Amino acid sequence: MFQIFKDSKFDFMRLRRFWVGISFALMLLSIGVIATRGITWGIEFEGGAQVQLKYPSKPDVSTIRNELSRAGYSAALVTTIGKPQDNEIYVRVPLTPGAKDDDVAAQVVRALQAASPGQALTVQSQSYIGPAVGRELIQKAVWAVIGAIGGMLGYIWIRFEFQWGLAAIIALIHDAVITLGLFTLAGFEMSLPVVAAFLTLIGYSVNDTVVIFDRIRENRQARGGVVGSLPQLINDSVNQTLSRTILTSFLTWLSCASIFLFGGRALRDFSFVLVVGIIIGTYSTIYIASPILVLWQDWVLRRKEAAVTAAPAATPKPTAKKVRAGKA
């Protein structure tokens, strides 16, 4: 098997408290960004219209965007779909205040016809999403993420131990919060594909964590179950899987980066989550999930020592002396 690092001896756990502190500080900053800037919701959540049109000749996407912007739809998403010879475009526009259900799609079609005079446009499909439906989708998306995290906790709890599952879940929350903070800071739009990207990130990150946890368990069993030197045990396990982790993460990241750079505007938001999340997820597997196991063990040992110290010393019971009766 190809290895980048052979017999590496990196001491990952030496600065574990420092990296855990940095990570939680980044989580707080991300929460602050989300709270102050707010998440930009897509039309699936806020309401709006989707229109698919067929042109008799090749459409000019730039001209279409400019015309929609002049019509008041500056936030419209315009992209070509299908084969180039199909001459079809897909348009998504957010709901404007005061617009009626049927107005949005009709106004979009009229604006596009005005941008292409003399061309007969064919409406392939159109749909409208109201605000009520959007709120329901938000609730379902949140429950989908919570359900995924809960399922991961149950799986790791059964396969390993409860504290291992807790460490993995903390790492997942860390990945999701920081990625969402950067996503919000960049001004990208939250849509159903982006929710799918976050679920994909959760699955990818926990898979990476399980690989290292498996190696930790194997090494612990090989050493007779001794956990007194848990930091060294984790260091050895991480070093043994380091090449696999970097190679897998880098190749996956390279694919997502290609989508982000060349996939167009329609895939930009989705791919951004994976490009950023894979880096954060790989980092958290080493510097969040694994150190939490050590911190948990330290906490348990301190509690045991405190319990022993607080326990009153056992006082020996007085022994009764036998008195021999004297002779009369």
* pLDDT at residue 207 in the model: 83
pTM higher than 0.95 for the full model? no
Q: Where are the domains of the chain?
A: 16-23+34-40+134-307, 48-129
Sheet (strand 88-94) strand order: 77-81, 88-94, 48-54, 122-129
* pLDDT at residue 62 in the model: 82
* pLDDT at residue 326 in the model: 47
Question: pLDDT tens-digit profile of 46-67?
Answer: 777 788 888 888 887 888 888 7
For domain 48-129, which CATH number applies: 2.60.40.650, 3.30.70.100, 3.30.70.3400, 2.60.120.260?
3.30.70.3400
Residues present in the chain in total? 328
Which stretch of DSSP H or E encloses residue 91? strand 88-94
* Nearest alpha-carbon partner for 116 in 56, 75, 76: 56
**pLDDT by position in tens, the chain (length 328):** 556 667 778 888 888 888 888 999 999 999 999 999 988 887 777 777 788 888 888 887 888 888 778 777 777 778 887 777 788 888 888 766 555 555 677 777 777 777 777 777 777 777 777 666 667 777 888 888 888 878 877 877 787 777 888 888 888 889 999 999 999 999 888 888 888 898 888 888 888 888 888 888 888 888 776 555 788 888 888 888 888 888 888 988 999 999 998 877 778 888 999 999 999 988 988 888 888 888 887 777 777 777 777 766 545 555 555 555 444 4
Supply the CATH classification number for the domain 16-23+34-40+134-307.
Answer: 1.20.1640.10
CA 197 to chain centre: 8
CA 166, CA 289: separation in Å to the nearest integer? 9
* pLDDT at residue 74 in the model: 73
- Token pair of 242 as six digits: 């380091």
* pLDDT at residue 151 in the model: 80
